[in-house]
Structure 1
């Protein structure tokens, strides 16, 4: 009986749902989970960026083809009018100087002139008909290509929306954990950063001057400035200030630098450092430090390379 009474009391003390509450994770567990989320988010954000670049290219392709289509339409309309004019002229010539009229012409000079005009009209009409036929074929081809390009743009827009949904789900999870840990940073979109005083020179100096001027601004997935940045957006804009045009995403930047790779043991200020999986990129600032836009809930900042927190795959020298 005492055992039964104790069991009944224990059951009464259970929460209404009938299950014990999940124990709150320790700080160490939360940080470990956050590290894993950050690594996953790096790749998801870059997939989102890649989809965005594909959409831009698809739209540009469609716009170019559509412009060509409009031009071709105008050309076909002009050739059609030329044929109509020629047909009218031919009819008028036949009405005034038909073949019977030409053959009964007493003046040999007028006869030859009439024959020459008729022959020229015929040859010109043949050329115009051929040009009209070719222009119509080109118009149909351009219309088909534009239709395909528009389909590609629509499909890519759907892909972008799907990737955006994944990113936003990841961002919500990161933000929740960071707020629980009390480490969420909003950043200042109007930050003027700090002055770069490292060893870089030339183009690399200009790139790092720009990157350091962004310090304190918030990380923003898909961010290309000026008020917020993601990792590859910051790298692209920084090196644009250095006179070098880089692609938008980490994957494209790594591929672009295929012939410019350098050893991690021979880093120079301005070199791009890539994490394993190509989800993240930073700029080496010299003296063992990097500048980068880390992840959601953080800001553009300078940290020691040793505290990077990501496995490295290699470096590229723009």
Structure 2
């Protein structure tokens, strides 16, 4: 008995610790569900930051181009003003008082006076425009500089959110591979044919979405080889002739006046999860088509198997 105890003691790890038991499949799935919920929100923050950056960059580009155009215009006006000054200094002005008064023809003199007055007015206008453009130049430069600063700030925000997404994806992939549930997907999948009851633009929406079935979920994905949830809904409704914003939050806000009851869903309606981290498309017959999460593919599943609490739906 004593010998058995000694042998047992020798077989224990040197630090006396017992190895942690491996998580059960149920525990792993529960952890994965929490990760997916968290990833939904982080990916949407990443998408929102990306869209803000794109808009800020576009604003900067427009302002900067306007500034450059104005620089060129001011340079041209400056050259014109300098030319007028040089002509006046060199006495090259054919309508100067000396030239005008030496004219023996009174009629010609009156004509010269009118011409001088006209040229003086034109010069005054050139000088006024030059002054105005020159004043605006600095303001435009400062505005463009401010837009660039905002774009740079948002770019940093995008990078920060992207780093968080990448960390979450690592955790998700690790768990999925342990569960043997990781799906690579096929970026070139031709999907399946939609044969449901939808009509009109909703039929176009669902035909497009069903054609994406089998393609991998990809955070920030807007196709054609991979999709995230709101990227898929945006592209699908674009095929139906409706322009949706990019992110889940924006789509929900956009549809504020288009809300429909979850008890009155029609094919093509967008269904949002609680917390607005995920969106899917109602396909009819109690089914949805969506891009679920990392390690999965665009798929058609029963709404009852959605796995997320719902907050509402909109009809674009």
**Pairwise TM-score range, normalised by the shorter structure:** over 0.9
Alignment counterpart, residue 162 of structure 1, candidates 151, 156, 160: 160
Indicate the residue corresponding to 2:214 in structure 1. Answer: 216
Return the offset for 1:67: 1.5
The CA deviation string for residues 278-299 of structure 1, in whole angstroms up to 9 with x for no partner, is: 0000000000000000000001
Alignment counterpart, residue 269 of structure 1, candidates 261, 267, 270: 267
Return the offset for 1:70: 1.8
Gaps of 5+ in 2: none
Normalised TM-score (structure 2): 0.92
Alignment counterpart, residue 62 of structure 1, candidates 60, 63, 75: 60
CA gap 1:287/1:76 in 2 versus in 1, 3 angstroms: same
The CA deviation string for residues 112-153 of structure 1, in whole angstroms up to 9 with x for no partner, is: 455444444433322211110101122111111110111111
CA gap 1:115/1:296 in 2 versus in 1, 3 angstroms: same
Return the offset for 1:84: 2.1
CA gap 1:101/1:39 in 2 versus in 1, 3 angstroms: closer
Alignment counterpart, residue 176 of structure 2, candidates 175, 178, 190: 178
Distance in 1 separating the partners of 2:292 and 2:206: 16
2:133 aligned with 1:139 = no
Deviates more, 1:280-289 or 1:16-25: 16-25
The CA deviation string for residues 202-222 of structure 1, in whole angstroms up to 9 with x for no partner, is: 100000000000101110101
Distance in 1 separating the partners of 2:93 and 2:164: 75
Deviates more, 1:74-83 or 1:53-62: 74-83
Alignment counterpart, residue 286 of structure 2, candidates 288, 292, 308: 288
Aligned partners of 2:95 and 2:113 also within 8 Å: no
Deviates more, 1:84-93 or 1:54-63: 84-93
Indicate the residue corresponding to 2:124 in structure 1. Answer: 126
Distance in 2 separating the partners of 1:65 and 1:7: 81
Aligned partners of 1:90 and 1:121 also within 8 Å: no
Q: How does 1:250-269 map to 2 (within 5 A)?
A: 250-269=248-267
Distance in 1 separating the partners of 2:305 and 2:66: 53
Alignment counterpart, residue 27 of structure 1, candidates 15, 25, 31: 25
Distance in 1 separating the partners of 2:311 and 2:158: 27
Indicate the residue corresponding to 1:85 in structure 2. Answer: 83
Gaps of 5+ in 1: none
Distance in 2 separating the partners of 1:97 and 1:218: 78
Distance in 1 separating the partners of 2:102 and 2:43: 86
Return the offset for 1:95: 7.3
Normalised TM-score (structure 1): 0.92
Q: How does 1:10-25 map to 2 (within 5 A)?
A: 12-25=10-23
Indicate the residue corresponding to 2:235 in structure 1. Answer: 237
Q: How does 1:196-211 map to 2 (within 5 A)?
A: 196-211=194-209
Aligned partners of 2:238 and 2:244 also within 8 Å: yes
Aligned partners of 1:216 and 1:301 also within 8 Å: yes
> Residue 301 of structure 2 aligns to a residue in which SS?
strand
CA gap 1:151/1:97 in 2 versus in 1, 3 angstroms: closer
Q: CA RMSD in A?
A: 2.4
Distance in 2 separating the partners of 1:258 and 1:231: 19
Distance in 2 separating the partners of 1:246 and 1:109: 71
Alignment counterpart, residue 191 of structure 1, candidates 164, 189, 195: 189
Distance in 2 separating the partners of 1:85 and 1:109: 30
